[in-house]
Amino acid sequence: MTNGTISIRDALYESPGPKAKKIIAAATVLSLVVLAALIYLVIHQFYITGQLDSRYWSVFARASTWRYLGKGLLGTLKVALGSSLVAFAIAMVMMLGRLSSIRPVSWIAVALIELSRGIPTLLFIYFFFLVPSQFGIMLPVYWKITLPVAISASGVVAETLRSGVNAVPKGQTEAALSLGMTDGKVFFKIVFPQAFRYVIPSLIAELVIVLKDTTFAYVVSYADMMLNARVLISNYDALLAVYLVVAVIYIIINYLLHRAAVFMAGHRKTAAA
């Protein structure tokens, strides 16, 4: 930035110097070696105990297995997408409430954010599983998993958005006010678009949490990838093989999200530098 104010963000994300780079490289190599050794040990152990016998893997020779897992994956992605969108919507409201100059509104928002962050996802799931039916409301099973996952994530997302808003320099608001913009326009045209760009990487990282939470779908018998994996396991007696494959799929998705976050972070830097 040329305007002389080095923001905390710039200072925190300053790229590492030559010494730090060496340390990072050494640590990376070391951890890779340790990781490889661990993986070897585990696989070796499974091999000795016969867990890697081909009969356990034959299930993956069938196209129907993959189709079934694929269906589950689709369910997982549907819940993840729905939860993310709902979480974002709730988070926007909570964040705006928290920033409100009307004290009681702000207090209520703080309380809701703390509840959302403090209560485990599983308890929200039980809540939506048990409570609405008491009032005769029949929630579709999709919403029984999507709503609690969304609510559980919304508090963190709200705080992330708020940190972005707070990171926008005060001068941006002042300049917009001087042009005669109303508070709403200042926020939605000037402050929030910048805040959102700052926090895109964090938001993507939070998607990973949402994705992991979707595995609670079995509690409400929603057919996500995890539930379908369980069905495969009980049908084919191939616990390790199925879990390994499913784990790899989750890792790939989360890795892609991670790459997206890194890409966006780099993108943001070059766009704002």
Partner 1 sequence: MATNEQTAIIELKHIDKHFGSLHVLKDINLTVHKGEVVVIIGPSGSGKSTLCRTINRLETIDSGEIVIDGDILPQEGKKLARLRSEVGMVFQSFNLFAHKTILDNVTIGPREVLGTPKKKAEEEAMALLKRVGVENQAKKVPAQLSGGQQQRVAIARSLAMHPKVMLFDEPTSALDPEMIGEVLDVMTELAREGMTMVIVTHEMNFARRVADRIIFMDEGRILEENEPEAFFSAPGTQRAKDFLNTLKERDR
Least distance from partner 1 to the Cβ atom of residue 143, Å? 36
- Distance (Å, whole) CA 75 – CA 93: 27
Pick the closer one to partner 1 by CB: 132 or 169: 169
272 binds partner 1 (CB under 8 A): yes
Q: Which of 41, 50, 37, 62 is nearest to 240 (CA)?
A: 50
C-alpha to C-alpha distances, 206 to 30, 77, 106, nearest whole angstrom: 28, 15, 24
Question: Which C-beta is closer to partner 1: that of 120 or that of 193?
Answer: 193
The Cα–Cα gap between 196 and 170 comes to 16
Shortest spacing between CB 40 and partner 1, in angstroms: 49
Residue 180 sits in the site that holds partner 1 (CB under 8 A): yes
Q: Where in 199-258 is the site for partner 1 (CB under 8 A)?
A: none
210 closest CA partner among 131, 146, 135: 146
Q: Which of 52, 92, 108, 177 binds partner 1 (CB under 8 A)?
A: 177
Burial class (CB in 10 A: 0-12, 13-18, 19+), 180: exposed
**Smallest distance from partner 1 to CB 2, Å:** 5
Q: Does 194 bind partner 1 (CB under 8 A)?
A: yes
Shortest distance (Å) from residue 198 CB to partner 1:
10
We find the least distance from the C-beta atom of residue 186 to partner 1, in angstroms, to be 9
Residue 190 interacting with partner 1 (CB under 8 A)? yes
Q: Is 266 in the site for partner 1 (CB under 8 A)?
A: no
Binding-residue pattern over the window 2 to 41 for partner 1, x denoting contact by CB under 8 A = xxxx------------------------------------
Characterise 76 by phi-psi region: left (phi > 0), alpha (psi -120 to 50), beta (else).
Answer: alpha
- Kindly tell me which residue out of 129, 143, 169, 239 binds partner 1, with binding defined by CB under 8 A: 169
The three-state secondary structure class of 108 is helix
At 139, the amino acid letter reads L
| 172 touches partner 1 by CB under 8 A | yes
In the block, tokens 């018998």 appear at: 221
Give the start-end residues of each E strand in 37-110.
Answer: none
Binder to partner 1 among 22, 174, 252, 263 (CB under 8 A)? 174
Three-state secondary-structure class, residue 237: coil
Interaction site with partner 1 (CB under 8 A): 1-5, 169, 171-172, 174-182, 185, 189-190, 193-194, 197, 271-273
